[in-house]
Amino acid sequence: MDKASLIIPCRNEEKYIKLCLESLIKNDYPDKYKEILVIDALSSDNTRKIVSKIAKKISYIKMIDNPEIYTPFAFNIGIKHSKGKHIILINAHSVYPVNYISSLVHYQNKLNADNVGGIFKPKSLNKNRKTNAILKVLSNKLGVGNAHFRTGIKVNEPKIVDTAAFGCYRREVFDRIGYFDERLARNQDIEFNKRLMKNRGKTYLIPGIECYYYVRESFKEIAVNNFQNGFWVILTSVLTKNPNSLSLRHFVPLIFLLSLIVPVIFSFFYFYLIFLSIISFILYNFVIMKESFNLSDSETGFINLIKTFYILHFSYGTGSLLSFFYLFKKLIFNKKNEKYILFL
């Protein structure tokens, strides 16, 4: 049996890290063949105390500092310190089924795959109508696009996909195509998997492997997180000099937002163009209301679903749009040495 190294980037995860570690400790993969590396970005809450307490009892858990703070640094630090043949990236916000590690390793060997991953299903610490609505939207195609690792797939067998969240990689993959791009505060895993595909590597999604990630439970948190995700869509394409480092779904909110704004601007020259914005807005609302009606029940509420869709799409699209102004500012002032990393 081959050793599996689990790498967990984290920062201020006191609410979730214990749940995450306990689920991994309970995994049926033999203890002597696994190691868990918690790469902590100098947490200021109780995260470090929690991890240290658990690590004193479990010999294969180790905490390593990440002074650079951001996730791609954590991934690379973990990979370089790890000893396993199988490198499994772990989300600190998540809990994992008892057969998670063994299933990933099994399918990686069976398929001779460079990367395998499972389905990430949303979960919340607190149950109420608002969080229930957020959970439904974050696993809905209209909410998150065709990201199969979020929405699931209808087939019962492994499927080749463009990316899989927090996958299980063969160690030799990193020798072959390099490490995670440390310029990218977001999207580093997506860019890496796209790079892997470009180099003829294969990523498989295994529908039978499911784990749960804890979502942000307020509309404000959803808005902030998705604004940052949207902001990094454009920066990722610019920094990698490759629009194909992401998928079309990542640009859809920006395209929709532009369909509202651009016709309004040009309507100052030709008034009737404003009707293109009106039509786009009406069609959007029709689709959102129809889907919200289909998803609505007594535990979510129609209005909460509409709010979630709106916040998800508009915050993401606004982030992408404002990243153009940021890039324009850098072009004008020519701040070559300024870091692109703005958000954690």
Task: Tell me what the pLDDT averaged over the chain comes to.
Answer: 90
Secondary structure letter of residue 247 according to DSSP: -
Q: Give the pLDDT score at 159.
A: 86
Secondary structure letter of residue 146 according to DSSP: T
CB-based contact 320:234 (threshold 8 Å): yes
CB-based contact 168:88 (threshold 8 Å): yes
Q: Measured between alpha carbons, how far is 282 from 288 in angstroms, rounded to an integer?
A: 10
Q: Give the pLDDT score at 148.
A: 64
Q: Measured between alpha carbons, how far is 251 from 316 in angstroms, rounded to an integer?
A: 9
Give yes or no for residue 244 having a pLDDT over 80.
no
The per-residue pLDDT for range 119-129, each reduced to its tens digit, is 888 889 898 99
What DSSP assignment string belongs to 208-221?
A: EEEEEEEPP-SHHH
What are the residues facing 89 on neighbouring strands? 7
State mean pLDDT over 183-190.
88
Secondary structure letter of residue 16 according to DSSP: T
CB-based contact 186:344 (threshold 8 Å): no
Tokens encoding 11: 């920062």
Phi, psi of 304, deg, nearest 5: -60, -40
State mean pLDDT over 94-107.
95
Give yes or no for residue 224 having a pLDDT over 90.
yes
pTM for this predicted structure: 0.86
Q: How far is it between the farthest Cα atoms of the chain? A: 71
What DSSP assignment string belongs to 317-343?
A: HHHHHHHHHHHHHHHHHT-TTS-S---
Give the model's confidence band at 62: pLDDT under 50 very low, under 70 low, under 90 confident, else very high. Answer: very high
Label each residue of 26-52 as H, E or C: CCCCCHHHEEEEEEECCCCCCHHHHHH
Give the model's confidence band at 237: pLDDT under 50 very low, under 70 low, under 90 confident, else very high. Answer: confident
The residue assigned the tokens 């920066």 is 235
Q: Give the pLDDT score at 338.
A: 47
Q: Above pLDDT 90, what percent of the chain? A: 68
Strand 203-214 versus strand 159-161 pairing type = antiparallel
State mean pLDDT over 15-33.
96
Q: Give the pLDDT score at 341.
A: 45
Give yes or no for residue 90 having a pLDDT over 60.
yes
Q: Which of these, 86, 129, 188, lies nearest to 306 by C-alpha position?
A: 129
Say if residue 254 is exposed, middle or buried (CB neighbours under 10 Å; 0-12, 13-18, 19+): buried
Q: Measured between alpha carbons, how far is 250 from 252 in angstroms, rounded to an integer?
A: 6
CA-CA distances (angstroms) from residue 47 to 12, 18, 61, 102, 262? Answer: 6, 9, 14, 27, 46
The per-residue pLDDT for range 321-344, each reduced to its tens digit, is 998 888 877 665 555 544 444 443
The per-residue pLDDT for range 286-332, each reduced to its tens digit, is 999 999 999 999 899 999 999 999 999 999 999 999 988 888 776 65
Phi, psi of 161, deg, nearest 5: -130, 170
User: Radius of gyration (Cα) for the chain, nearest Å?
Assistant: 21
Q: Give the pLDDT score at 153.
A: 62
Domain 4-218 -> CATH class? alpha beta
State mean pLDDT over 85-113.
95
3-state helix, strand, coil in the chain (%, to 5): 55, 15, 30
Rounded to the nearest 10°, the torsion over CA 301, 288, 243, 337 is: -50
Label each residue of 86-125 as H, E or C: EEEECCCCEECCCCHHHHHHHHHHHHCCCEEEEEEEEECC
State mean pLDDT over 26-39.
96
Q: Which of these, 201, 161, 13, lies nearest to 92 by C-alpha position?
A: 13
Say if residue 343 is exposed, middle or buried (CB neighbours under 10 Å; 0-12, 13-18, 19+): middle
**Amino acid sitting at position 142:** L
Question: SS3 of 89, please?
Answer: strand
The residue assigned the tokens 């920006």 is 254
Segments making up each domain of the chain, as ranges: 4-218, 238-333
Q: Give the pLDDT score at 94.
A: 94
